[in-house]
Chains A and B, each alone.
Chain A
């Protein structure tokens, strides 16, 4: 069974520091990886997509992918209290599954002022 693993947290980070969120996945053929942010009572919001090994930067966010280690991470620089949310890692299944997302359970991030 394909799985995506995340530490549930909560992960507490002081304001202005770097928050590091990690995710591992079990399916070696996975090609597409996503980070979603979900505020309490709201729906998930796509913040990063990554498809190739290495780093991808977008503003304060950097996604890192290592397919050999089956590991994807999200770094948030200069963390702000508004970054406090649950961060969901998701991996796309194959075409036969209609590209269903396989979800991690999410990591709750708390940025302390």
Chain B
């Protein structure tokens, strides 16, 4: 079983739609969680870290459910510029320092006009 599983999509949504991505992880000792965005084989860039209580950054909301080992990303009011691949990332290491990282395979999103 892979450490991190994501629905690969593709998700094709109209502008203004709300879309949600899910990610599950297998190691209950996982310490920290992130969502990255990657445009067309360019380098990934951090979208947001995921905090235990859930967190919001503008149109983006991330949630963590440790009991179900599940992370989600919600995008509201989708823009054309949101079209990208979204990567779920899990930090699995002793303690809570940044260590060994596992990436999901990514979920592809296309927003159409």
Pair from one complex: no
